[in-house]
Amino acid sequence: MIGSDRQHTLNAALSFEGIGLHTGEHATLTIEPGEPNTGYVFVRVDLDENPEIPALAGNVSETRRGTTLGANNATVHTTEHVLAALYANGVDNARLLLHGGEVPILDGSSLPFVEAIVQAGTKEQDAPRKFFNVRRNIAHRDENGCEMLLVPSDEDGFKLTVMVDYNSPILGTQHARLEGLSGFNESIASCRTFVFLKEVATLAEQGLIKGGDIDNAVVLAEREYSPEELNAIAKEVGRSELNEPAQTPGMLNPSNLRFPNEPARHKLLDIVGDLALTGRFIQGHVLAARPGHANNVAFAKLLQQQISAQENLPDFRTDRPSLLDINDITNLLPHRYPFLLVDRILDMDDQSITGVKNVTMNEPFFQGHFPDNPVMPGVLQVEAMAQVGGIFALSSVEDPEHYSTYFMKIDAVKFKQKVLPGDTLVFHLTLMSPIRRGLVNMKGRAYVRGELVSEAEMLAQVVRDRAPESAE
Look at residue 472 and tell me whether its pLDDT is greater than 50.
Answer: no
pLDDT band at 303 (very low <50, low <70, confident <90, very high): very high
- DSSP character at residue 250: T
pLDDT confidence of residue 469: 55
Show me where the domains of the chain are located. 6-190+263-311, 194-257, 326-464
Q: Is 326-464 a CATH 3.10.129.10 domain?
A: yes
Cβ(428)–Cβ(451) below 8 Å = no
User: What is the rounded CA–CA span in Å between residue 345 and residue 348?
Assistant: 8
* Catalytic positions, written as ranges: 293, 369
- DSSP character at residue 324: B
User: What is the rounded CA–CA span in Å between residue 317 and residue 209?
Assistant: 54
pLDDT confidence of residue 36: 97
Phi, psi of 120 (to 5 degrees): -75, -35
Amino acid in position 163: M
User: What is the rounded CA–CA span in Å between residue 184 and residue 181?
Assistant: 5
Total-model pTM = 0.74
What's CA 326's distance to the chain center, in Å?
A: 40
Residue 417, Cβ neighbours under 10 Å: how many? Answer: 15
403-415 and 138-141 beta bridge pairing: unpaired
Phi, psi of 83 (to 5 degrees): -65, -40
Cβ(150)–Cβ(288) below 8 Å = no
User: What is the rounded CA–CA span in Å between residue 459 and residue 37?
Assistant: 38
Phi, psi of 391 (to 5 degrees): -60, -40
Phi, psi of 147 (to 5 degrees): -130, 145
Phi, psi of 295 (to 5 degrees): -70, -40
Q: pLDDT for 381-421, tens place per residue?
A: 999 999 999 999 998 888 888 888 898 999 999 999 999 99
> What percent of the chain is predicted at pLDDT more than 70?
85
Distances (CA, A) of 68 to 190, 267, 293, 297, 467: 22, 17, 10, 10, 65
- DSSP character at residue 5: S
User: What is the rounded CA–CA span in Å between residue 276 and residue 300?
Assistant: 8
**What residue ranges in 51-120 does DSSP mark as E strands?**
52-54, 60-62, 68-71, 74-76, 94-99
Cβ(276)–Cβ(60) below 8 Å = no
CATH (residue range 6-190+263-311): 3.30.230.20
Per the model's pLDDT, the better-predicted residue between 271 and 220 turns out to be: 271
pLDDT confidence of residue 142: 86
Alpha helices in 291-355 (DSSP H): 293-311, 326-332
451-464 and 94-99 beta bridge pairing: unpaired
User: What is the rounded CA–CA span in Å between residue 98 and residue 16?
Assistant: 10
One-character DSSP codes across 169-224? TTT-EEEEEEESGGGHHHHTTTPPPEEEHHHHHHHHHTT--TT--TTTSEEE-SS-
Q: pLDDT for 144-198, tens place per residue?
A: 788 999 999 866 689 999 998 867 767 778 899 999 999 999 999 999 987 777 6
pLDDT confidence of residue 212: 67
3-state SS assignment for residue 431: strand
Strand partners, 427: 355, 446
What's CA 330's distance to the chain center, in Å?
A: 43
Q: In what order do the strands lie in the sheet with 26-33?
A: 14-19, 26-33, 94-99, 40-44, 52-54
Segment 6-12 shows an average pLDDT of 97
Distances (CA, A) of 298 to 145, 293, 412: 13, 8, 26
Sequence-distant (6+) residues with CB within 8 A of 199 are none
- Cα dihedral across residues 411, 416, 419, 422: positive or negative: negative
**What residue ranges in 314-450 does DSSP mark as E strands?**
344-348, 352-358, 403-415, 424-431, 439-448
Q: pLDDT for 205-257, tens place per residue?
A: 666 666 666 666 777 766 676 677 766 666 665 555 555 555 555 666 667 78
3-state SS assignment for residue 391: helix
Distances (CA, A) of 164 to 161, 171, 266, 275: 10, 9, 11, 18
